[in-house]
Amino acid sequence: MRPTASAWRPRWPGSASFASAGGEAEVLPYFFGHRDGQRVEIRGADARHLARSLRARPGELISVVQPEGALLTVRLAAVDANLVVGLVEEERPHRPEPEKEIGLAVAMLPAPALDLVLSRGTEAGAAGFSLVAAERSVGRGARPERWASICREAAMLSGRLRVPEVVGPVPFSEAWAAAVEPVLLDRSGPALGPLAGPATLFIGPEGGWAPGELELAAGRLASLGPRNLRADTAALVGLTQALSGQ
């Protein structure tokens, strides 16, 4: 079953316990699977990961997330690189998604920093990501398959119900005009507090926002304090602050 879509969307075009036969537990991500009654199927890259990388075997237990808000304990019945089949042994409620939907609009960054924002932002509960071609952006080029893979792996690791979408990059003016309740992080603004959501938090490039971008965002600025923060640090601190108070 595919993860459900989020209500937060731009308008522009825990770890699980893997029980082995010997009783030892290994830390593994949660998995997304298709359920039909008590039968669960896992296909594609996730099946290959279980069969080849994790060397899962029939009889072992894994945890499977269902997008409607359930966590399944599944005993594996058959393991193949193309298809993993298991049977549900336990089902319990699973509500990992934040009550507030806060998306991140991130100025294009060098690949390592952007990868970190996507990965850790997904784990921390970002509703989605909009990539922005800001005037002072350093990163160049679109890598949608890699970005989607990073978010999926992080969603599985953290047990989220869905995989956040990554869109863009687009020019700043276009991203700003399309954003849901945008808030731009800059030291000239007042202190950032919890946001009601849905909202979009704009994270600037390492060189800061250009004067024209700040002018366009006038009246919707917020600050994380007087210290200089790297863009990837600002993204995680800002997201945490915006989601706080739930």
The model scores a pTM over 0.85: no
Q: If we measure between CA atoms, which residue out of 49, 31, 29 comes closest to residue 40?
A: 31
Give the residue range(s) of CATH 3.40.1280.10 domains in the chain: 102-243
Give the residue range(s) of CATH 2.40.240.20 domains in the chain: 16-93
Range with lowest mean pLDDT among 12-26, 34-48, 185-199: 12-26
CB environment 133-167: b (16+ within 10 A), e (fewer): bbeebbbeeeeeeebeebbbbbbbbbbbbbbbbbb
Calculate the dihedral angle through the C-alpha atoms of 131, 178, 189, 202, rounding to the nearest 10 degrees: -20
Q: Are strands 39-43 and 34-36 parallel, antiparallel or unpaired?
A: antiparallel
Residues 109-159 pLDDT 10s:
999 999 999 999 999 999 999 999 999 998 777 899 999 999 999 999 999
Kindly report the number of other CB atoms within 10 A of residue 246's CB atom. Answer: 9
Q: If we measure between CA atoms, which residue out of 24, 27, 1 comes closest to residue 15?
A: 27
pLDDT greater at residue 189 or residue 197: 189
Mean local confidence (pLDDT), 11-17: 39
The CATH code of domain 16-93 reads: 2.40.240.20
Q: 102-243 belongs to which CATH class?
A: alpha beta
